[in-house]
Each structure stands twice: as structure tokens, then as C-alpha cells.
Structure 1
Amino acid sequence: MNKSTTLRKITGASCLTLAAAIGATSVANAANWRYAHEEYDGDVQDVYAEHFKDYVEENSDHTIQIFEFGQLGESDDIMEQTQNGILQFVNQSPGFTGSLIPEAQIFFIPYLMPTDMDTVVEFFRESEAINEMFPKLYADAGLELLQMYPEGEMVITLDEPVTSPEGMKNKKIRVMTNPLLSATYEAFGATPTPLPWGEVYGALQTNMIDGQENPIFWIESGGLYEVSPNLVFTGHGWFTTAIMANKDFYDGLSDEDQKLVRDASDYAFEKIIVHIDGLADESLEEIKKASDKVTVTRLNEEQIEAFRKRAPKVEEAFIDMTGESGKELLEQFKEDLKEVQKD
């Protein structure tokens, strides 16, 4: 079951809706805004996009056209289209944005983020690094950062159960086109193998790679458990994503529409936090029902510590890649996490 979708070509520019009553003296303009994300129908990014769309359309005359994974190409394609103004909004994870904004790779430093959902959510709400430092970095890349939000704990799927870095030795693990994620799996003892998402299922099926990482809901949605049935919970991090707007587009909006967009992103954030609560458990149960070949390995604290001891190498690689700005961001990240964990 390889869920490839047909690439669709965008035709036409933003739509102008002319609403005029007989004898009216003014014309109301409503725009059709295009929004692309990286996931399938009903997945977390799609649910967020639908809530964003609902808010915009219920509170304005504007409409939102949503494009799911594959309809406009891969992740790199939709980012390029957003930067070029073809798309107004894009939802993309730092796993791909990291090549454009190196500091965004911070989410791939293992064992930096906690795995407790309440702590994670509070961090995204309160973090100075997230809410003050990141928007400036994204703006430098021509993007208006509207919201960062978590999707779920990362889980590794493999060709066999593994409980130690030694067990990861020579395992070819698919990674996004992200240098720091490659550094993480090198530190874990594996061989990182960058691949676009559309090639992952087939590569697992033909043993070109031995494993990959993703949140559980995506492992279920993409059918990855069918070809990579051994699920390993290492507790090394959460999958994070972000919704952005083309900055020229956003800056050109009226104050009223800028507020509309901000309010829509906040509204969708609150909805998605409710949506992901319990989603991992539900998805895991569905996977177990669908296949009797699936194994679930949850590392104990001693086993996790063997992986955690390798994380400082990845922090060093992050600072090497990002320089002083990355160092400052990492320090603030840790300070923010300390604050929410204290609370």
C-alpha cells in the first residue's frame, strides 16, 4: 500500500469574488488563499489546516484552498511555491525547513524535548525561543511564522527490535533532508539515509533502508508498519511542525486581515492540541489490530540513557552548523524548558 497521490498543477491566480447588489455603490473583494501541507487527509496537519480554513471563512469573505501531500509535489516544492508567492500559506516541519533556516533543526537534538504532552504543550505556549526568537529567523527567509505546534512523540520503526545503540549499528535509517537529523542517527550508531517521503514505503519494502522515524499516527496513516513492523519508543523527541505565510503577502494584508490570520492560527492551535491528546494510543491500537507482525519495544530508563549519552555530540554539531545564533537559541530553549518543567 503506497499512498502516492497525483501531482496537480495550480491554474489561475488568487480569485477575486465580486459581490454587488443592484444599485450598490461599492464592490466587496474576497481573496482565495492557497494553503499546502505535508500530510494526508485527516492527519494532524490536515486537521489543523481545516480548522484554520473554518475560522477564516466564518469570520471573513475570504476562502482557503487546501492542498494535501503530493498534490503540489514534495515538501521542498511547496516551500519554494510559498517563497515565490504561488502559495500564501505552507505547513512544513523543521525537518525540511532546516535546510533553509538551519536553527530550525534544534528540534532534532535528541532528548532536548520532554515526551510528557502537558509539558510539551506548555513549552510551545510559553517559550521565548519559540514565540520571540524563531519569528525573526523565519522573517529573514521571507516567511511569516504564524504558529509552531507539536504532532506527536517520535517512534523508530525497524526491520528488527532494537534496545541499544549497538543494535543500531549499520542500520540504514531514512532521514529527512536535514543535516542535524543525520548527525543524530550517526550518534546513535546508524547510517542515516536521506530520502523524500514519497520513496520511503518502497525503500522499506525492498530493504533499501532498514528503518525510519515518525509519529505513530503517521506510521499508521502511511502504512509504514506493514513494511517496517518493529516499533521502538526511544523517548528521544517530539515531531514539531510550523505554519508560515509568504511574508510579502502577509505584510501586504490590511491590519484587519493580519489579525484574522493570527486569530485563525491561534484557534487552530487550540483545536489541534485537543486532537492530538490520545491520538498516539489510538493509532497504536489500530496498528496492532491491522497486523499481528507488529512488535512494540519501549526502552527502560537504563536503555534510554545509553542513547541519551550520545546527544551532546548532536548539540555540538548543531552549534557548528548555526554559529552564535544557534548557540543563543539553544541556551534559551533550555531555559524555557527548565521554566515549564519547574512549573
Structure 2
Amino acid sequence: MSSLSKFRKLAGITALTLAGLTAASVVNADTWRYAHEEYEGDVQDVFAYKFKEYIEDHSDHDVKVYRFGELGESSDIMEQTQAGILQFVNQSPGFTGALIPEAQIFFIPYLMPTDMDSVVRFFKESKAINEMFPKLYAEHGLKLLQMYPEGEMVVTADEKITKPADFKNKKIRVMTNPLLSATYEAFGATPTPLPWGEVYGALQTNMIQGQENPIFWIQSGGLYEVSPNLIFTHHGWFTTAMMANQDFYQGLSDKDKQLVQDATDYAFKKILVHIDGLAEEALQKIKDASDKVTITRLTDEQIKAFKARAPQVEKKFIEMTGESGKKLLDQFKEDLKKVQSETN
């Protein structure tokens, strides 16, 4: 299926689908429903199916996985999870940030390292990730089961970009996330929020001139076909979170709670193996598929110009989140400092 066909295929939730989802009692259901934001074979899909594999191998429960577009956009699957229609959901902080402002911390540029070892260790050991975030998600009826990295963020554009001035007058697609908008404003661009289903067409028709995503998603979604200039700015990693409806989770037996935790741990271990080398593989596929693609890797000197603008985004984050955001940011930095000192 072509990339354009994928986007044309996207549709909202039909009344028939919704009726089917709500037909069974959530807490007592043997079939658990899990929705994510990506396509077949992408990182969230692999995670979901590893979770499903463990659950079904170690219990009588079944897990039904819904991929991007089958139940609507990211906002739709979150609403369904909070309503108890879905038991599990995988959603990136880019969208969750509208619900939980502190989750936008991942969009402060140049806060996170971009080397694999440091990133993986951070997600495993961070107090901010493993102790503070679960409390924030719980306030919104969500049981945070696992945050995990997917890949370094890469910008695509209609031209090569090497300095903030190159972003002038360019509309860059962002998720519906105020802090991500602040990042691209700081970089000199015009941030343009768009749901994922509209991105390919908007790039194709020049409604927008660029976007950012991990390289595997740029390859999977065919974005390089309509936005062929890839820029490695090294400003951050794409992060996602797997969570459950809190009432559903609390209603499980102790045995099933442990089952869910074990399945999540199993999927997390498998996904860390999966993403190792994934970016290089996806980039090679892009090179093989198109001779129009250009690859720009910013030098340390070029990165300095972008990094100098990061403090204004950090300031915006604190303004948006208040004392809770400041505490989270302080813990984030402490965790990162510890990880990087032990990794280097």
C-alpha cells in the first residue's frame, strides 16, 4: 500500500465499531483492548504485540491490538481509554501533553542525550520517569505502566537547514503540543499543529514545509517522498508511554496485576533490542528508495546556534507547569547528570 493510500484510508470511528467495543463488561472481559498510534511493524506495534504475546502465553486472556487509524486519531484513543472502552493505550507525550502539561518536558530541546546507551539507561533508572510521572498520570485516571524511547528526532524540510535563519517563514508541523510549538518558534519557524493523518498531504501540497519524527516513522510513513531533506539536529528523542485505564487496572486480581506488570517488563526489554540499529536500517531503506533525499548532520558548531535558544523553551515549560513542572525538571536534570557521568 502506498503512503498516500495509508493516509486516505484513515477514518473516524463508526457507530458499529464503538458499539462492538462497548458490548462487553470492561473489568470482567477476557479480551483486553489495546490501541496505539503507529502502523504495522512500527515500534509501538512491536511493543503491543510483545505485550499481547506474553499475556496470551501466560493466561487465558486475549489482547486485541488496534493500530493507527482503526479507532481514530491519538486524541480519540485517549478518550476511549479514559472512558474505559479501551483497557490499554500507547500514546506519546506529544499528545498527552494537552492532558498532562508536565509530559511536555520531553520537548525541551537538547535536554535529553541522543546516544543510545545514555537514553536507555535513563529510562530504566530515572526517578522522574519511574516515580514522579506515574503520580501525574494517575490524577487523570491512567495507570502509567511504561515510558520508553523510540528514536532520535529528525527534521524533514523542503530545503536543507543548517541554522535557525533557515527556518524563517517555514511552517513546521507539530503535534498539538504547546511546548513543541514553543521549540519551533525558538528555532525561528512557524509551528503548525496538525493531526497525523493530514501530514503527508499537507507536505505534498506545500501547506507545510517540514515536520519532525524518528527516522523509522519517516520511512514507514513515506514522508521522505514529499519532504526529502533530512536534518539531524540532535535535539531530542521521541518518547512514548504505555498505560492502562486506572479503574480497569485497580479492578484486576493481584495475579492479573502482576501479569500485566510482567508483560510490560517483557515488552520493554524486547523493544530496547528492537530499536537498537533501527534508525540506521530505516535510513538505508530511504536511501535505497529515493535518490532525491539529502542528509544533513549538523556539526557541533551549528548545533550551538540551536542549543542557545533552548533556555527560552525551558522557561516556557516552567511557566506552563508551575512548581510541579520545576520539580520534575530538576529531577530530570539530576537523573540525566547521574546517567551521563556513569555512561561516559
Q: TM-score, normalised by structure 2?
A: 0.95
Match of 1:275 in 2: 274
* 1:235 equivalent in alignment to 2:214: no
Match of 1:331 in 2: 330
* 1:210 equivalent in alignment to 2:232: no
For residue 186 of structure 1, what is the amino acid of its counterpart?
A: E
CA distance in 2, matches of 1:314, 1:263: 37
CA distance in 2, matches of 1:204, 1:30: 42
Q: Is the Cα–Cα contact under 8 Å of residues 165 and 188 in structure 1 kept in the other structure?
A: yes
For residue 167 of structure 2, what is the amino acid of its counterpart?
A: M
Match of 2:60 in 1: 61
CA distance in 1, matches of 2:309, 2:142: 33
Point out the more displaced range, 166-175 or 1-10: 1-10
Match of 1:21 in 2: none
1:12-31 equivalences under 5 Å are 12-13=21-22, 31=30
Tell me the CA shift for residue 14 of structure 1: 6.6
CA distance in 2, matches of 1:85, 1:283: 36
Tell me the CA shift for residue 172 of structure 1: 0.4
Match of 1:26 in 2: none
Identity level (%): 75
Match of 1:300 in 2: 299
Please state whether the residue corresponding to 1:214 is helix, strand or coil: strand
1:21-55 Cα deviation digits (max 9, x unpaired): xxxxxxxx861000000000000000000000000
CA distance in 1, matches of 2:249, 2:120: 26
Tell me the CA shift for residue 169 of structure 1: 1.1
Please state whether the residue corresponding to 1:289 is helix, strand or coil: helix
* 1:97 equivalent in alignment to 2:96: yes
Match of 1:24 in 2: none
Q: Is the Cα–Cα contact under 8 Å of residues 10 and 197 in structure 2 kept in the other structure?
A: no
CA distance in 1, matches of 2:306, 2:22: 50
Q: Is the Cα–Cα contact under 8 Å of residues 14 and 33 in structure 1 kept in the other structure?
A: no
For residue 206 of structure 1, what is the amino acid of its counterpart?
A: T
CA distance in 1, matches of 2:271, 2:138: 24
Match of 1:129 in 2: 128
Which has the greater radius of gyration?
1
Match of 1:146 in 2: 145
For residue 184 of structure 1, what is the amino acid of its counterpart?
A: T
Match of 1:322 in 2: 321
Change (3 A) 1:158 1:140: same
Match of 2:168 in 1: 169
Change (3 A) 1:234 1:290: same
Q: Is the Cα–Cα contact under 8 Å of residues 110 and 236 in structure 2 kept in the other structure?
A: yes
Change (3 A) 1:316 1:31: same
For residue 181 of structure 2, what is the amino acid of its counterpart?
A: S
CA distance in 1, matches of 2:116, 2:168: 30
The count of residues paired between Structure 1 and Structure 2 equals 331
Please state whether the residue corresponding to 2:86 is helix, strand or coil: coil
Tell me the CA shift for residue 15 of structure 1: 5.5
Tell me the CA shift for residue 124 of structure 1: 0.1
Deviating beyond 2 angstroms after TM superposition, the runs of 4 or more aligned structure 1 residues are 4-8, 12-16
Please state whether the residue corresponding to 1:296 is helix, strand or coil: strand
CA distance in 2, matches of 1:42, 1:281: 16
Change (3 A) 1:306 1:191: same
CA distance in 2, matches of 1:203, 1:6: 15
Tell me the CA shift for residue 250 of structure 1: 0.4
Point out the more displaced range, 89-98 or 165-174: 165-174
CA distance in 2, matches of 1:186, 1:110: 12
Please state whether the residue corresponding to 1:293 is helix, strand or coil: coil
CA distance in 1, matches of 2:260, 2:22: 20
Q: Is the Cα–Cα contact under 8 Å of residues 15 and 31 in structure 1 kept in the other structure?
A: no
Tell me the CA shift for residue 170 of structure 1: 1.5
Match of 2:289 in 1: 290
Tell me the CA shift for residue 89 of structure 1: 0.2
CA distance in 1, matches of 2:21, 2:214: 36
For residue 166 of structure 2, what is the amino acid of its counterpart?
A: G
CA distance in 2, matches of 1:159, 1:318: 29
Point out the more displaced range, 159-168 or 3-12: 3-12
Match of 1:75 in 2: 74
Q: Is the Cα–Cα contact under 8 Å of residues 83 and 142 in structure 1 kept in the other structure?
A: yes
For residue 323 of structure 1, what is the amino acid of its counterpart?
A: G
Tell me the CA shift for residue 6 of structure 1: 4.8
Match of 1:248 in 2: 247
Q: Is the Cα–Cα contact under 8 Å of residues 14 and 32 in structure 1 kept in the other structure?
A: no
Please state whether the residue corresponding to 1:209 is helix, strand or coil: coil
1:111-163 Cα deviation digits (max 9, x unpaired): 00000001000000000000000000000011000000000000000000010
Tell me the CA shift for residue 13 of structure 1: 4.0
Match of 2:118 in 1: 119
For residue 113 of structure 2, what is the amino acid of its counterpart?
A: P
Structure 1: 5+ residue runs without aligned partners?
Answer: 17-28
* 1:261 equivalent in alignment to 2:254: no
CA distance in 2, matches of 1:229, 1:13: 43
Q: Is the Cα–Cα contact under 8 Å of residues 161 and 232 in structure 1 kept in the other structure?
A: yes
